[in-house]
Amino acid sequence: MLSFSESIKLLRTAYKLSTRDLAMILDIKAPSITAWESGKSQPTLEMFKSICNLFAVSSDFMLGFSSKIYNEDFLLELEKELTAFCFSEHYSGSHKDLIHDFPLPQKYIDEKLRVSSYTQVMRANIIFLTRMYIAYRIARYTIASPSEQRYCKALIDNKDLLKKYEDQEYMYICRLNDALFKSTIDPIYDIEQLLHQRGLG
């Protein structure tokens, strides 16, 4: 079993995130990620929950209490939350206008079909990809929107950053589409395989 510092580094590298990328998604400074990975500090309880939610991994795995990465009840809880946020026509949250209508396959919408059609690691991939897509879409909108410019004046003229957010948003929506509709292929990010390769699983 891994320590928290080992687990967070494993997840970040498995999901191909730089410390800056992960810090941006979690809305913290990059040195905090480095400090966690070196074991010099620990995240707050709320930040710990955010990490588990982002990667859809169990808290017991993150804390080194279990070698089991995923928890079925936790996955179902996150899936219910995300489908309500992103895809429900009844959702009226402040960022609803930022999320494109995304046609979900019936095998994902139906809970029983979802469980039988997708492995846990693939379902975790879908949760992660959805969250990343939302994060970069909101980040891009925040920079580009005139109504938000007073909050990010230093970023307004940063065309490189805006382009990066556009590219990342597009990449994650494409990968999300693949994960949802091509469930017979291997997961895009396979934590279990990485653990096995390193002799840890």
For residue range 4-29, list pLDDT tens digits in order. Answer: 999 999 999 999 999 999 998 998 99
Residue 15 inside a domain? The answer is yes
200 lies in some domain: no
Tell me which amino acid residue 42 is: Q
Task: Write phi, then psi, for 134 (nearest 5 degrees).
Answer: -60, -45
Both 79 and 55 in one domain: the answer is: no
Q: Is residue 195 part of a domain?
A: no
> Residue 162: pLDDT above 50?
yes
* 111 shares a domain with 50: no
Single out the residue in 69, 94, 115 at which a domain terminates: 69
Select the more confidently predicted residue: 86 or 34: 34
Are 60 and 88 in the same domain? no
pLDDT in tens, 62-91: 999 998 999 999 999 999 887 776 655 444
pLDDT surpassing 50 at residue 92: no
Is the pLDDT score of 164 beyond 60? yes
Residue 98 · residue 138 · CB < 8 Å = yes
Number of domains in the chain: 2
Q: What is the pLDDT of residue 121?
A: 94
> Would you state the pLDDT for residue 123?
95
Last residue of a domain, which of 21, 40, 69?
69
| Rounded-to-integer distance, Cα 196 and Cα 201, Å | 5
Q: Using H for helix, E for strand and C for coil, what is the string for 165-192?
A: HHHHHHHHHHHHHHHHHCCCCCCCCCHH
- Read off the tokens for 136: 């970069």
Of 46-50, 70-74, 94-98, 165-169, the least confident: 94-98
Q: Check pLDDT > 70 for residue 152.
A: no
Domain membership of residue 54 as a residue range: 4-69
- CATH number of the structural domain spanning residue 40: 1.10.260.40
User: Which of 38, 69, 100 is a domain's end point?
Assistant: 69
Greater pLDDT, 172 or 153: 172
| pLDDT per position as a tens digit, 93-130 | 444 444 555 677 888 888 999 999 999 999 999 999 98
Whole-number Å distance between alpha carbons of 127 and 133 = 10
How far is residue 53's CA from residue 124's CA, in Å, rounded to a whole number?
A: 10
* Domain identity same for 12 and 102: no
- 137 vs 116 pLDDT, higher one: 116
Same structural domain for residues 31 and 96? no
In a domain, 93, yes or no: yes
Dig out the tokens for 27 from the structure. Answer: 């809305």
